[in-house]
Amino acid sequence: MDISKIKEQFKSLYGADGAVYTSPGRINLIGEHTDYNGGFVLPGAIDKALYCVIRPNGTAKVRAYAPDENPQTVAIKSEFGLEESDKPKERWAQYIFGVCREMTKKGAKIPGFDIIISGDVPLGAGMSSSAALESCVGFALNDSFQLGFDRFQIALIGQATEHNYVGVKCGIMDQFASCFGKEGSLIRLDCRSLEYEYFPFDPKGYRLVLINTCVAHMLGGEYNERRESCERVVATIAQQHPEVKLLRDADTDMLKEVAGKVSAVDYIRAEFVIEEIQRLLDTCELLKKGDYEAAGRKMYETHTGLSLKYTVSCPELDFLNEFAKQSGVTGSRLMGGGFGGCTINLVKDERYDDFIQKATDAYHQKFGIRAKVYDAVIKDGARKI
């Protein structure tokens, strides 16, 4: 990312220099559909990030510019006030506005400011460009105007922005990873207590790469159906074990006790979640030992569970996962909610070029789609440059 270019754009637009901040996108090595069940996730910040240049402008308004946006489809400039009634029409600007409003609700006094937003987090690839934007703006405002928020509060402000100003009822993982990322480490986040711990991830001799299927099948009510399955199983288990509030609190023995009392579909979905929570904990221990081959096998197990038990995969994701397995790739699985998006792959250096070439060619031949490829290196979270 050419930071000097956006600094020059800022000075050209606004007639002065500004302070530069950045916040990254993220990957999640393992732990899918565990968050709303009170389990764990294992994200890391990556070397794809959002950047902003900012300075106060002496007014009560925000003047925002997003040079990456396509001027044929959306206005790249937006100007708006900081009152609730001033919400801008441009979706990208709503993230900036939402962060300002959530901070104001918490007592912050935010003056008008000029800001440029740019970055290289691929849109729609499951690397959480929206959380990177929220965290970048939140960190920049907090530091520029000495608002007194800590990183955890900035992450929560980003989540609240999604909920209240964008209309996405997301969890906390994406904003948390963007704020708390640490080079060479993944973050085990307890989605129930929000406690976290860093685990080493510096796989010498391996590369982490995402392959984007470039498909997004319609979710419809699929996501909600799976949440409801988990909730029904929890309610049934709780009849005998009242201490169970979330699937995180249950084990396989408790699940077996209700085998005849819940539907087969609900049972197998709950089984996946309970197994996935344990699989993540096991993977953390493997990372401590530097055993990336065994960690890779856990990734394959997760994909199998997501495909056959939780049924959130699709033919394109299954194809890329199976191709990785047949190519001797160390680990591969779908990343994210499913039904499209990326596979995340842990590949030995010596296999990388051959695998990427053959996988993308085979995928194009099978589906007529050119997959996109993104290397991911684990880096630090939100910061001033």
Coil/strand/helix, residue 33: coil
Is residue 282 among the annotated active site residues? no
User: Which H or E run includes 134?
Assistant: helix 129-144
DSSP string, 40-102: EE-EEEEEEEEEEEEEE-SSSEEEEE-TTS-TTTS-SEEEEESSGGG--SSHHHHHHHHHHHH
Structural tokens at position 316: 């394109």
How many residues are listed for the chain in this entry?
A: 385
Cα–Cα dist 90/109, whole Å: 24
Coil/strand/helix, residue 335: strand
Q: Please name the residue that has the structure tokens 């009822």.
A: 169
Which region, left, alpha or beta, applies to residue 341 given φ > 0 means left and ψ of -120 to 50 means alpha?
left
Tell me which residue of 344, 347, 327, 346 sits closest to 336, measured CA to CA. Answer: 344
Which contacts (CB < 8 Å, 24+ apart) does range 84-91 have? 87/165, 88/64, 91/166
Angle (CA) 295 246 235, round 5°: 135
DSSP string, 145-209: TT----HHHHHHHHHHHIIIII-----SHHHHHHHH-BTTEEEEEETTT--EEEEE---TTEEEE
User: Which residue type is seen at 224?
Assistant: N
Q: Which of 35, 114, 174, 266 is catalytic?
A: 174
Tell me which residues are annotated as active site.
174
